[in-house]
Structure 1
Amino acid sequence: MAVGSAFQAALGMGLALLVVPILALLDPGFIPGPMLLAGTVLTAMTAYQERDAIDRKGLAISLLGLLVGTVIGAVSLQYAAGPNVQRVFGAVILVAVLISVLGSHVVPNTRNLIMGGGAAGVMGTMVGIHGPPISLVFQGAEPRVARAMLGAFFTIAYLGSVAALALDGLFGRAGVERAVVLLPGVGIGLALAPVVRRCVNRRRLRVAILAVAAISGVLLVLK
């Protein structure tokens, strides 16, 4: 959680794709709700630090898609719950990796913002990985703008997913307690972020994170 948080705060990626697959292998109870609730602290801090770079209109449009996708994801997860839930997690993780690898330049227009937000809502509510679909929309933006927009989007997305899970009876007191376990990692990651921003090669980091996520996804499917 500390490593993923440091990468996310410094470079705008790393939290979900790195942390979720590993947590799913260690203990599926940490995803999606606990990881999302703990991650809200990180994304809110990121958005606040660069709040003047947020495009409020673009954010509002993407949130319309997010709302629909979150509901679909919560319903889908309820039907997927059971002995095969880890395989479902693994499959969705592999889809997220595929989107990240194959995604081409996407213009942040109304249609793409809605589609990206919707896909993020479905994937994020099911396994806690909102990033790949919506990140594609902002991949051509200035880094500061991308970090601010994604931070704001993820904050609202994470809280919305947790609320949807709670309404479906899939997140409760035990989930909150697990989220508290993850919070120290968030704090350490925020403290390390300035060092990471100076020292880490973004392209190599992206390849490494996608590799870890892909391997973990395959292990979950085969488990």
Structure 2
Amino acid sequence: MGEALSDLATAHLIALAGISILAGLIQGSLGFGFAIVSVPLLVLLDERLAPVPQILAALPLSILVWWRERAHTEVRAVVLMSLGRLPGTFLGHALLGVASAAVLDVTIGSLVLFAVVVLAVGRAVPRNPTTETVAGLLSGTAGYVSAISGPPIALLYKGAPGATARATISLILVVGSVITLSGRFMGGRFTELDLWLGAVALPSTLLGLWLSGFVKDRIEGRPMQLGILALCTLAGVALLGRAGTRMAAPPTPLDDATEVARSFDPIRRAARSTRSPIGRRVGGGLGSGRVRAAPSAPSRPARPVGP
């Protein structure tokens, strides 16, 4: 754990815990919103803090929210949106390979804001097999790319009762998070640091869920609709803002080989450690750009020739 978190500032870890409390409170009240609140703020502090740790921390949160409201779950919507998330995950993985993160943020953020405007001035989108499957597809793509997968689903539940929205959205997010994490793991976009950061954020996330129990019953009808639209607007603006930050920053492209190398690689970590025999021979040369040769075996004295 020390090696995994040692490069992160203590203040950033404290911020991770504090933001997770607020994000857990919001998701516990509305059924979604954890990543919308936490990811943009944490990325501004350190890009290593997001997005995978938020998916890890939000997974048990979504399970608990669903369990609390499970009697109001719409099973058909869960099945159709989950099926839609499967191709959405593959699409997100493919997009990360051909488009920059900034371009994807602009695209997803613009689509979310467009949907908010349409729903704010018109009627709610009807929930039927077609809209539910499309929402699942968009949610899977956005979730893989940015961890912000809630808006496409939540916009369908703009006019639904609070308990129905929280239960159904939460169960969809549970299934979707498992799909997204599996896709990232198989695609080499999952690191040991992500695991530790998710563990750091989890207690604060659960504290936020506990606090939501005092306010969730007051968010029904019009407040629920306004909350969904407000959070989706925040998501779109945050994605556009993050895109601007990424465009302004110096480019640091990471190809797939680099991402895989950052994943679980005990041999590489052992080579870096100066406490291991491998590290003493090889790791010492990594920082200076050269590899130290291992000591050669002593040569035997030549045998005399002749009688």
Alignment TM class, shorter chain as reference:
0.7 to 0.9
**1:185 paired residue number:** 204
From the two aligned structures, give the one with the greater helix fraction: 1
Q: Does 1:132 find its partner at 2:143? A: no
Judged with a 3 Å threshold, the aligned counterparts in structure 2 of structure 1 residues 65 and 199 are, in CA distance, closer, same or farther, namely closer
Q: Does 1:102 find its partner at 2:118? A: yes
**2:82 paired residue number:** 63
Equivalences for 1:194-209 in 2 at 5 Å? 194-197=213-216, 202=224, 205=227, 209=231
Judged with a 3 Å threshold, the aligned counterparts in structure 2 of structure 1 residues 20 and 145 are, in CA distance, closer, same or farther, namely same
**2:241 paired residue number:** 219
Q: May I ask how many residue pairs the two structures share in their alignment?
A: 220
User: Which amino acid counterpart does residue 9 of structure 1 have in structure 2?
Assistant: G
Larger radius of gyration: 2
**2:43 paired residue number:** 24
User: Which amino acid counterpart does residue 238 of structure 2 have in structure 1?
Assistant: S
Higher relative CO (Cα under 8 Å, sequence separation at least 6) belongs to: 1
Match of 2:57 among 9, 18, 38: 38
Q: Does 1:51 find its partner at 2:75? A: no
Judged with a 3 Å threshold, the aligned counterparts in structure 2 of structure 1 residues 210 and 142 are, in CA distance, closer, same or farther, namely closer
**1:166 paired residue number:** 185
Structure-1 separation of matches of 2:36 and 2:188: 25
Structure-2 separation of matches of 1:181 and 1:96: 30
RMSD over aligned CA atoms reads 2.3
Deviations along 1:66-113, one digit per CA (max 9) or x if unpaired, are 111111112222444xxx535644553453344334335111111011
Q: Does 1:148 find its partner at 2:164? A: no
Judged with a 3 Å threshold, the aligned counterparts in structure 2 of structure 1 residues 76 and 214 are, in CA distance, closer, same or farther, namely closer
Structure-2 separation of matches of 1:203 and 1:145: 13
Q: Does 1:14 find its partner at 2:33? A: yes
Structure-2 separation of matches of 1:15 and 1:170: 21
Give the fraction of aligned pairs with identical amino acids, expressed as a percent: 25
TM-score normalized with structure 2 length: 0.65
**1:92 paired residue number:** 108
Gaps in structure 1 of 5+ consecutive residues: none
Gaps in structure 2 of 5+ consecutive residues: 1-19, 246-307
